[in-house]
Amino acid sequence: MKDSLRVIISTLGIISIIVMMIGCSLRSEDEVYTQNEVSKQNKVVELIWYQLGAPQEDGDLVLKTVNDYIKDKIGVIIKIKYIGWVDYNHKTQLVINAGEPFDLMFTSSWANDFSQNAQKGAFLSLDDLLPVYGKEMLQNIDLRFWEAAEVHGKIYAVPSEKEIVNMPMWTFTKEYVDKYQIPYEKLHTLEDLEPWLKLIKENEPDVIPLYLTKDFCPPIYMDEIIYPLGIEYSYDTNNLIVSNLFETETMKSTLRTLREYYLKKYINWNAATISDDKTVKRFVTKGDGQPYADRIWSRNLGYEVVTSTIMETKISNYSARGAMTAISRTSKHPEKAIQFLNLLNTDEYLRNLINYGIEGVHYDKVNASDDELRSVEGSDHVYPFKIRYNNDNMKRYDVPYWVQGGLFNTYVPEGEPLDKWQKFRELNKNAETAPTFGFDFDSDAVSSQIEKIKSVMNEFVPPLYTGSVEPDDILPKLQQKLKENGIDKIQEEIQIQLDEWKMNGQ
């Protein structure tokens, strides 16, 4: 299918000419609306869009401005339905399972599982629609994102083009880094942190040395194949052998270190049960970052942080599917939905409006200095200005910037380099690909076992990963529960499919 994708993209120009010459369409004349036909049809349709995040105080104001713009452009208005972070997985599944009519939905490898939803038919295949209604974004977005958007040879979502690899990072509060002259850039492993956790514990009684939450995942490289199932494995990349991660010495050692830190009170006592509380004073925590993530986190937290990368990562399904928008199989207007996503990912004004809010209300443009402009001479995709947030009004419209669409035509805020997106492109260009990139596990044969394993993992993993329990006592109980509920059968099925995938030349 990778070759097919390349053929599709390279022949878009020919397809467009044919469509113009013979007036062909994928559906009947009454169902198809292209940009040139909007004025003729004089019909505006509403698209319902489920997004991850909280409703915004100025959401209606921004949405009215968006709709006034796109209504004239493509004959569409949108209605956004927000679902909070904690409830997103559960509530989106309720919507999907009920067959509720809607058009667009945020999906990813880590929230509202993309692969599973695509395989069970919740999302619409876009292969026929993209060359006609989304040709600009199909050509512009990195091919590897489109490859990640495939499940068993068909595209089921439009990817948000951003960093293509995961970048787990230690995030340090700069106040304590400066105060104790901590060489944070040299701290990468969990064990590297120990002397500095001890120092903070002894000298800063009001500060949690290592702040963890129930969603914490230890810094061990894991491939994406079974992550959405709530099961974690490591891989022998030479032979692509699936193995149970909890049986590896690496994981056992990591869990013992976390337990040691917990007993020394480096880790907050309630880590296994809480979500992030930004008001808690902490020295270091773990985040999944990107280039210049420290600038964004500092702004959101209200104080400065600095970061160090934990490990080198490769392009995987998990990383490349970090943010996507799918079209529902229940959508009555899939052509219009693709048109809207195409406009969103190619129209500078629309993308920044829906991302930052209204210029002059939520932000203002500030010309870049001569020194800044000179520093980026020769760089592509650089705006000659930055944006300055109106701090009071920004709080009234502050959405997750990667949920709606790609990042590379969004404006750069003050405090970040003008060529930020150029650096992202360079990161993506130079990233290596994991040997399992493109493999999708078909879970139908072991679906009942998977549901049971999910429950087991939800019970055991948060306390284990946060050091809240003794791993040498709990791991045997976890392994027994996993085996009783079919872990061996799941592992065997993954291996069979992985071997077949590799044998077919993937």
Residue 16 pLDDT > 60, yes or no? no
Contact criterion met (CB below 8 Å) for 90 and 323: no
| Angle in degrees, CA 141, 327, 115, rounded to 5 | 75
DSSP 248-260: SHHHHHHHHHHHH
For the stretch 21-64, pLDDT in tens is 333 333 443 444 344 444 444 689 999 999 999 999 999 999 99
Could you tell me what percent of the chain has a pLDDT over 90?
A: 64
- Whole-model pTM? 0.85
Q: How many angstroms separate the first and last alpha carbons of the chain?
A: 10
DSSP 327-342: EBTT-S-HHHHHHHHH
Residue given tokens 């974004």 in the structure block: 137
pLDDT of residue 289: 82
DSSP 262-296: HHTT-B-TTTTT----TTS-EEEEEEEE-TTHHHH
* Average pLDDT over every residue of 127-146: 97
421-to-382, 409, 411, 417 alpha-carbon distances in Å: 8, 8, 9, 9
Q: Domains in the chain, start-ordered, CATH in brackets?
A: 45-163+322-346 (3.40.190.10)
398-to-366, 377, 401 alpha-carbon distances in Å: 19, 31, 8
For residue 82, what are the β-bridge partners?
51
Whole-angstrom Cα distance, residue 306 to residue 173?
7
Whole-angstrom Cα distance, residue 105 to residue 92?
8
321-to-220, 331, 395 alpha-carbon distances in Å: 19, 22, 28
The amino acid occupying position 410 is T
More confident residue, 46 or 229: 46
Could you tell me what percent of the chain has a pLDDT over 70?
A: 88
Residue 262 pLDDT > 90, yes or no? yes
pLDDT of residue 27: 40
* Average pLDDT over every residue of 444-448: 90
SS3 416: coil
Kindly state the tokens that stand for 41. Answer: 């049809």
More confident residue, 13 or 447: 447
pLDDT of residue 31: 41
Contact criterion met (CB below 8 Å) for 234 and 246: no
Contact criterion met (CB below 8 Å) for 119 and 442: yes
Q: Which band of pLDDT confidence, cut at 50, 70 and 90, is reported for residue 234? A: low
Phi, psi dihedral angles at 244 (to 5 degrees): -80, 115
Lowest mean pLDDT among 26-40, 116-130, 142-156, 355-369: 26-40
Phi, psi dihedral angles at 405 (to 5 degrees): -170, -165
Residue 79 pLDDT > 80, yes or no? yes
Q: Write down the mean pLDDT value for the chain.
A: 88
